[in-house]
A and B are shown apart, each in its own frame.
Chain A
Amino acid sequence: MNRRRTLDVSHLPTFAFGQRDPLWWGVMGLIVIESTVFVLGLASYFYIRGNHFEWPPSGSDPIIRVLATVNMGLLLLSCLPMHWANTSALKRKLRGMRWGLVLASLLGLAFLAIRIINMQAVGFRWDSHAYGSIFFTLVGLHTVHIIASTLENLVIAAVLFIGPVEEKHLVDVRVNGMYWFFVVASWVPFYVLLFMAPNLFRA
């Protein structure tokens, strides 16, 4: 009916992975925000530490190295099933996505259980002193991330079990996996600093 020049896009797909996808940028934005929170949390830790000759303050050794290390290991281990879910999304395989997410969530729940035991075993509270405040806040912030992320894993797994499953859910699985990797990786510096070497970088 008219000879206006057109740019036909009807042949283009309806979803894409990675940085082609707007949702990937959304989650990346969230990761940037959370990273900034964590970095500023670390900065607060060092700032408060600068006021102390003895760190941690005497009588408040948090170092339950074994539990903390087991927990770090659980988180790193959870990356394997998450990776399985991620690659299954690329291959469009339901089974890997479902069970990958379920396994990662179970490891997340185990992590949370150990963390509760761990935090009960430290000999101080958030209102004991400034060290306790920053310690509990940093651990608490990360715990909130694990809780939220585990619940997110479970909700996506539920969608994959109940259905109907749409193509765009493949994208959801991928970006969810990316966020989980971030939550795991972000704990590494805190694990080292809070539990293994509280006086790191100190002259």
Chain B
Amino acid sequence: MSSGSVLPSPALPDAPPLESEAEARERAQLERTWSPLGGLKGWLSDVHHTTIGRRFIVTAFIFFLLGGVEALVMRLQLARPESTVLGPDLYNQVFTMHGSTMMFLFAVPMMEGVGLLLVPLMIGTRNAAFPRLNAFAYYTYLIGGLLMNVSFLLDMGPDTGWFAYVPLSGPEYSPGKRVDVWAQMITFTELSALAGSVNMIATIFKLRAPGMSLNRMPLFVWAQLVKAFMILFSMPAVMLASLYLAMDRLIGTHFFNPAEGGDALLWQHLFWFFGHPEVYIIFLPALGILSSVLAVFARREIFGYLPMVLAMVAIGFIGFGLWVHHMFATGLPQLGQSFFTAASLMVAVPSGVQIFCWLATLWGGKLRLRLPLYWILAFFALFVFGGLSGVMLGAYALDLQVHDTFFVVAHFHYVLIGGAVFPLFGGFYYWFPKFTGRMLSERLGKWHFWLFFAGFNLTFFPMHYLGLMGMPRRVYTYAPDRGWTDLNLLATVGTFIMAVGLVLFVVNVFWSRKRGAVAGDNPWDADTLEWATSSPPPPYNFLHLPTVRGRYALWTQAVDQPIVTGVRSDRPEVLVTRLMDAEPDHRMEQPGPSLWPLAVALSSGVAFTVSIFTPWGIVIGAGLALITLTGWFWPKKPYREELLEEQP
């Protein structure tokens, strides 16, 4: 390539006429080194972050559709009083499946997947830090999701709600295997999230492109980092809780049995110590998506980078201090009431800081009103609305009045769908061209947006009223003289409108994948490094590893922005940089494709699934895990120059 080309940076790595012979050789060698193996084995052994990230996203989306169908069925049942679409037993299973699926099998893994897919590209490296651990995380998640859904088809679906309160879920009131299935599914998906988070932290800390110091990281990467730390500190609580529950049910321990000195409230404390941070674990990555989209479509840098980062970190801390507001109805000492009310209201402060920073960004920007921005603007309306009902629920006095009513259902759907699903769709429209090379249809997309937006509000806005009128959540039917009929019918109509929007979305994705307009490398003129490579990215991500000299990597790059050379292309090697300022530190070879992560995931699958029926499952699974983990760890064909001088 001549030095006179306009952008000598990796922004145009795929311009074949300009490519020199040396570059073509390098590209061919990288292709050989990083491409997955062929055939079924290649498919099962792939460990590249783009593959695993895509699998997470597709799988989570399928679970999202399943959870959506469950919601549709529930709304059908509730559309009229004394309806008989579902009996009480099946209704219990369906609402438990809906909640558990949306929280554990859709929201968290979806955010994992988006981060896994994007972060290594955004920080300018060739793969995540521990590729095989990623593959393990995916398979573990898949096994857990299948376990719960297959059990549901066998009439063994969990039926005690997504937070499975004891004593209802204990051995006395829930005989049979339904709750055990739920408890093991929790263990699987939390294991997966923990593995993914460790990976995310190591990737972000150690694999950033030279020059991308911590204070130049894209806000999306910050959001993923804070989320990963929150997972480390919160998910152990629910794993421990589900372990206690499983043991109470299977081997007769007494953790939650008051007759033998146990305590039912211990469950609620442990569950919500996880469950409240969980909300922010879902919400923070959505904020990251939001900031990415907003900067690009307002054509300016995000207002107040430092307050934004501090606000995210603050949410990460405060999120751990307010779990008891889910337990206001359990009878708290007055100090507890006041403390947790105050803590709950306090989280509105960093959230407010962020909202005002985004508004300031919009204010000073030149808005391009394209589809991704639609979803973001809708987010502001819905999230602020849900935040307001959240402030109401965070106050002890009001919470007692509407506890366990549809008001709560309305509130958390506004914050979770408005706060996470809307930004997710915005992000999907934004990044789809990067990973398929094609644009999504703008026209179908607008239909999708307006139907989903209108349907969402029709569904959940009336639920505020239903709750205030006293309709409890989780009832399978109601009497005609309660006066709840019309609003329920309205909500059901809204759900179906949302569903139509979703169908259009799916059609759009399938149509545009093959026939959408060709996107090019950077159709939105965006700022982050993933737009500096081809669409879709090659298996090695970047032909030349980039360097960075500002917060908005592509907007601030110099005309002669240096590229990294000297990272080997005949081995899967990545550049490791220093934690704070990302100076180059050393080169690290990465493990290639492997079947061992699948084998380890399967052995833990055996352990947890068999242990539903007999405690020996743990012993069998542990034996299998020892064998497979040794296989995973055992070194393969070393390179001579990297051998130790002293050999056995």
Distance in angstroms between the alpha carbons of A25 and B205 in the assembled complex: 8
Taking the complex as formed, is B468 at the interface, i.e. its CB lies under 8 A from any CB of chain A?
Answer: no
Taking the complex as formed, is A19 at the interface, i.e. its CB lies under 8 A from any CB of chain B?
Answer: yes
- Given A1-B22, A131-B261: A44 touches B270 (CB 8 Å cut-off): yes
Q: Which residue of B lies closest to A49 (CB)?
A: B261
Question: For B210, B255, B633, which residue has the most chain A Cβ atoms within 10 angstroms?
Answer: B255
Q: Give chain A residues whose Cβ lies under 8 Å from the Cβ of B647.
A: 94, 163-165
- Given A6-B563, A37-B240: A94 touches B648 (CB 8 Å cut-off): yes
Q: Which residue of A lies closest to B564 (CB)?
A: A7
Taking the complex as formed, is A189 at the interface, i.e. its CB lies under 8 A from any CB of chain B?
Answer: no
Within 8 Å by CB of B648, from A93, A155, A165, lies A165
Cβ of B261 and Cβ of A48 under 8 Å apart?
yes
Q: Give chain B residues whose Cβ lies under 8 Å from the Cβ of A13.
A: 586-587
Within 8 Å by CB of A165, from B203, B586, B626, B643, lies B643
Cβ of B587 and Cβ of A37 under 8 Å apart?
no
Cβ of A7 and Cβ of B638 under 8 Å apart?
no
A27: min CB distance to chain B, Å: 9
Cβ of A133 and Cβ of B255 under 8 Å apart?
yes
Cβ of A40 and Cβ of B253 under 8 Å apart?
no
Taking the complex as formed, is B296 at the interface, i.e. its CB lies under 8 A from any CB of chain A?
Answer: no
Distance in angstroms between the alpha carbons of A52 and B258 in the assembled complex: 11
A127: min CB distance to chain B, Å: 4
Cβ of A2 and Cβ of B565 under 8 Å apart?
no
A191: min CB distance to chain B, Å: 20
Q: What are the interface flags for A125-145 relative to B under an 8 Å C-beta threshold, 1 for contact and 0 otherwise?
A: 011111111101100000000
Within 8 Å by CB of B586, from A1, A15, A48, A131, lies A15
Cβ of B579 and Cβ of A19 under 8 Å apart?
yes
Cβ of A22 and Cβ of B206 under 8 Å apart?
yes
Q: Give chain B residues whose Cβ lies under 8 Å from the Cβ of A168.
A: 589, 642
- Given A26-B198, A41-B240, A44-B270: A137 touches B564 (CB 8 Å cut-off): no
Q: Give chain B residues whose Cβ lies under 8 Å from the Cβ of A9.
A: 564-567, 575, 584, 587
Taking the complex as formed, is A77 at the interface, i.e. its CB lies under 8 A from any CB of chain B?
Answer: no
Distance in angstroms between the alpha carbons of A84 and B508 in the assembled complex: 62
Q: Which residue of A lies closest to B252 (CB)?
A: A127
Q: Interface on chain B toward A: helix, strand, loop, or mixed SS?
A: mixed
Q: Give chain A residues whose Cβ lies under 8 Å from the Cβ of B197.
A: 29
Please tell me which stretch of B49-57, B87-95, B230-238 contacts chain A, meaning at least 4 of its Cβ atoms lie within 8 angstroms of it. B230-238
Q: What are the interface flags for A1-18 relative to B under an 8 Å C-beta threshold, 1 for contact and 0 otherwise?
A: 111111111111111100
Our count of residue pairs bridging A and B at CB distance below 8 angstroms stands at 213
Q: What are the interface flags for B233-276 relative to A under an 8 Å C-beta threshold, 1 for contact and 0 otherwise?
A: 10111011001100110011111011011110010011001000
- Given A37-B240, A51-B263, A161-B648: A25 touches B247 (CB 8 Å cut-off): no
Q: Give chain B residues whose Cβ lies under 8 Å from the Cβ of A134.
A: 255
Q: Give chain B residues whose Cβ lies under 8 Å from the Cβ of A1.
A: 20, 22
For the complex, count residues of B whose C-beta is within 8 A of A: 79
Cβ of B129 and Cβ of A22 under 8 Å apart?
yes
Taking the complex as formed, is A199 at the interface, i.e. its CB lies under 8 A from any CB of chain B?
Answer: no
Taking the complex as formed, is B588 at the interface, i.e. its CB lies under 8 A from any CB of chain A?
Answer: yes
B607: min CB distance to chain A, Å: 12
Q: Give chain A residues whose Cβ lies under 8 Å from the Cβ of B645.
A: 92
Q: Give chain A residues whose Cβ lies under 8 Å from the Cβ of B578.
A: 20
Distance in angstroms between the alpha carbons of A131 and B210 in the assembled complex: 54
Distance in angstroms between the alpha carbons of A10 and B648 in the assembled complex: 30
Taking the complex as formed, is B302 at the interface, i.e. its CB lies under 8 A from any CB of chain A?
Answer: no
Distance in angstroms between the alpha carbons of A98 and B543 in the assembled complex: 41
B172: min CB distance to chain A, Å: 15
Taking the complex as formed, is B561 at the interface, i.e. its CB lies under 8 A from any CB of chain A?
Answer: yes
Q: What are the interface flags for B535-563 relative to A under an 8 Å C-beta threshold, 1 for contact and 0 otherwise?
A: 00000000000010000000000001111
Q: Which residue of B lies closest to A50 (CB)?
A: B263
- Given A8-B565, A16-B586, A48-B266: A29 touches B20 (CB 8 Å cut-off): no
Cβ of B253 and Cβ of A137 under 8 Å apart?
yes
Cβ of A159 and Cβ of B588 under 8 Å apart?
no
Distance in angstroms between the alpha carbons of A41 and B236 in the assembled complex: 10
Within 8 Å by CB of B633, from A16, A155, A164, lies A155
Show 5 A/B contacts (Cβ-Cβ < 8 Å), sorted by A: A2-B20, A12-B584, A29-B201, A36-B236, A133-B262
What would 20 more interface pairs be, CB under 8 Å, given A1-B22, A47-B266, A133-B247? A4-B1, A4-B8, A4-B563, A5-B561, A7-B210, A7-B564, A7-B584, A25-B205, A26-B129, A29-B202, A40-B270, A44-B270, A130-B263, A131-B261, A132-B253, A164-B648, A165-B644, A166-B642, A167-B642, A168-B589
